[in-house]
Amino acid sequence: MRRILLAAACAAPVLLGLLALAPARKRTMTLIVAVSVAVATVVLVVVATKLGFNRAVDGFSVTQDVLAGDAVDQSTRERLIMLWGGYQAFLHAPLFGYGWPDMVPAILPYVPGSEIERMLTFRQLHNGLLSFAVGAGIPGVISFLILSVAPVIAALKTPRDELFVSRLYLSVTLCAAYAVFQLTIIMIGFEFHTVQYAFMTVVILGFVRAPARVAPADQSVRSKAPVSQETASTA
C-alpha cells in the first residue's frame, strides 16, 4: 500500500500532462474517471488509517525523515545501508559487476559488521537500478534503462490513429509506476513482475488500437466486377 501511494504521488504530474493531451471529445469522461480514482484513493487511505493500517501513509513521513537526516525505521535503515553498500560495490567493479547471484555478498565489505547477517537474508538490493548495476555493471545499467522505457518507445512507433494518445498514456503510466516501485524493491528482474511488465506492454500495444475500417461489401464487389464487352464497345 505504501509503495502504491508513493507511486501515485510521483506519477500524478505525468498523468495530468497526458490528460491535457487527450482528445477534446473524451477529455470530460477521462477527467471524471481521474477524479473518481483520486477520491477513491483518499477514501481508502482514510479508512486504512482508521482501521490501524498506519503503515500505508508512513512512507511520506519516512521520506521526510530521510531528507532531514532524522532517525528512520528498521526497514528504511536497511535499504539505506544497501544503497550505500551497492554504490561502493559498483564503483569497485563498474565494467561487468559481480554476477546476479553475488550482488548481495558484493556489498558486505561496505556495510556495518552488525548488519552482515541481516544482509545475507536478501537476494537482491531492494532497488532495481542498483541491483542491475552491482550484478552486471555498466551493461546492466544500460539494459535496465532500456527496459524501463521500452513500452514508451514501442508506443511511439505505433500508427498515429485516434487511440495513439491512449496507448502512450498507458505506456507512460506503466513505466512510471515500475520506476517508482523499483526505488525500494526490484521489479524488472523478478520473475513475476518481469512477465507482468512484458504482458501489460503487449496488451497495451496489441489491443488498444482503432478497429480497421472495412469498405461495404456491395461497393467492394462492384469495384472488382469486370467491365462487360458491351460497355467497353460503347466507350
Q: What is the pLDDT of residues 86-118, one digit of tens each?
A: 999 999 999 999 999 999 999 999 999 888 899
Q: Is residue 187 part of a domain?
A: yes
Based on the fold, state whether residues 96 and 206 are members of the same structural domain.
yes
Based on the fold, state whether residues 202 and 94 are members of the same structural domain.
yes
pLDDT score for 3: 54
pLDDT score for 53: 60
pLDDT score for 86: 93
Q: Is residue 229 part of a domain?
A: no
pLDDT score for 66: 47
- Within 8 A by CB and 6+ apart from 63, the residues are 6
Based on the fold, state whether residues 52 and 108 are members of the same structural domain.
no
Report the number of distinct structural domains present in the chain. 2
What is the extent of the structural domain holding 10? 1-72
Rounded to 5 degrees, what angle do the CA atoms 113, 115, 121 make? Answer: 130
pLDDT score for 205: 93
Average pLDDT estimate for 128-132: 94
pLDDT band at 174, cuts 50/70/90? Answer: very high
For the chain, give the longest Cα–Cα distance.
Answer: 100
pLDDT score for 74: 80
* pTM for this predicted structure: 0.67
Domain boundary, last residue among 13, 40, 72: 72
Tell me the range of 33-37, 110-114, 145-149, 217-221 where mean pLDDT is highest: 145-149
Based on the fold, state whether residues 68 and 81 are members of the same structural domain.
no
Based on the fold, state whether residues 31 and 121 are members of the same structural domain.
no
Based on the fold, state whether residues 121 and 36 are members of the same structural domain.
no
Q: Is residue 231 part of a domain?
A: no
**In whole angstroms, how far apart are CA 85 and each of 92, 121, 195?**
11, 15, 29
pLDDT score for 161: 87
What is the share, in percent, of the chain residues with pLDDT greater than 70?
66
Q: Which three cell numbers stand for residue 204?
A: 497495451
Based on the fold, state whether residues 40 and 86 are members of the same structural domain.
no
pLDDT score for 46: 75
Read out DSSP for the chain?
-HHHHHHHHHHHHHHHHHHHTS-HHHHHHHHHHHHHHHHHHHHHHHHHHHTT-THHHHHHHHHHHHHHT----HHHHHHHHHHHHHHHHHHHSTTT-S-GGGHHHHHGGGS-GGGHHHHTT-SS-S-HHHHHHHHHHHHHHHHHHHHHHHHHHHHHTS--STTHHHHHHHHHHHHHHHHHHTTTS--TTSHHHHHHHHHHHHHHHHHSSPPPP---HHHHHHHHSPPPHHHHHH-
pLDDT score for 128: 92
Based on the fold, state whether residues 47 and 124 are members of the same structural domain.
no
Higher pLDDT, 47 or 146: 146
Q: Contact at 8 Å (CB) between 186 and 135?
A: no
Average pLDDT estimate for 37-49: 74
Average pLDDT estimate for 18-24: 60
- Within 8 A by CB and 6+ apart from 12, the residues are none
